[in-house]
Amino acid sequence: MSAFIIETLIKILIVVAVFSFLGGFATYIERKVLAFFQRRLGPSYVGPYGILQLLADGIKLFTKEDVLPQNANKFIFSIAPIIAMMSALIPMAVIPFFGDFTIFGYEVHPIISDINVALLFFLAAGSVGIYAPLLAGLSSGSKYSLLGAARAAIQLLSFEVVSTLTILAPLMIVGSLSLVQINHYQSGGVLNWLVFKQPLAFVLFLIASYAELNRTPFDLLEHEAEIVAGYVTEYSGLKWGMFFLAEYAHLFGFCFVISLIFFGGYNPLWFIPGGVAIILKVCFFVFLAMWARATFPHVRPDQLMRMCWKIMMPLALINILITSIVILL
């Protein structure tokens, strides 16, 4: 029992450390990717190829003055970014990042907790993140932050409904909510990947994920084209940074889940070992999110809601109906 507790604590520390670093490193990668697509330099002065820009940004965030608005509820104002980080990291407890492997005769299971409702836990724990922008906007004492929080709550609630409905069709085929079982279902080769059986579910889930992650073109939570910054208008320094570290960490989590559900997970890919294969898949989906940001224009809030309720929701329900008929037949 003590060995199990120690192993679990080590896994938790590794996940928190690795994804906190990846969340910060993704900011550098995204700036480089956007610079490539838009023919500009990006980070290039701090270190070779600007690689130390991440360190410079970290120093800036840690040393920048932490401003507390005069009319803010200071406790809630301070706890909102912590909720954002927790809602991004806790769902990773049920993600099997790789297959089992052995070190010095000890078998390691690279998952913190393999529960039979892993996918439900991932979606539910991640949905708690709605409280971060909501509390941030309510506690800031600013009408701009309050309006941004209301817009964030509407967007997140809407697309959580769509993403949950969308994922039902693949689950009906697999018959399990465990991400490990979903991965094993696709172990027969590339043709067994669920993306070929549920292409519509994959497209809808990917779009809903971008909306939940505040990714362009659905970045209406904190709209970079506006003068104010939505629910984070009054934030600065490390608290501001925590919101966006959480966003990038959650992006990696969603990319792992998409790879596990639709693209064979950590099963070997031809001559490529399973651990390397899933890393390549996750890197592709992270790059795809950055590619989308460099390519598509922003949408209006009314366009986003119309797409959610009048297009994606009916398509998700139709997909569930067709899948159920095929299974019964």
Are the C-beta atoms of residues 194 and 186 closer than 8 Å to each other? Answer: yes
> Tens-digit pLDDT profile for the chain (329 aa)?
677 788 888 889 999 899 988 888 898 899 999 999 988 888 888 888 888 888 888 888 888 888 888 888 989 999 999 999 999 999 999 999 887 777 777 777 888 888 889 999 999 998 888 899 999 999 998 888 888 888 888 888 889 899 999 999 999 999 999 999 999 999 888 889 999 999 999 999 999 999 888 887 887 777 666 667 778 888 888 888 898 889 899 999 999 999 999 999 899 888 889 889 999 999 999 999 999 988 988 888 888 889 999 999 999 999 999 999 999 88
Q: How far apart are CA 138 and CA 145, in angstroms?
A: 7
Q: What is the pLDDT of residues 89-98, one digit of tens each?
A: 999 999 998 8
Q: What is the pLDDT of residues 151-167, one digit of tens each?
A: 888 888 889 899 999 99
What does the DSSP assignment read for 254-292?
Answer: HHHHHHHHHS-TTS-BTTB-HHHHHHHHHHHHHHHHHHH
- The predicted model scores a pTM of 0.91
Are the C-beta atoms of residues 96 and 180 closer than 8 Å to each other? Answer: yes
Domain positions in the chain are 67-328
Q: How far apart are CA 164 and CA 155, in angstroms?
A: 14
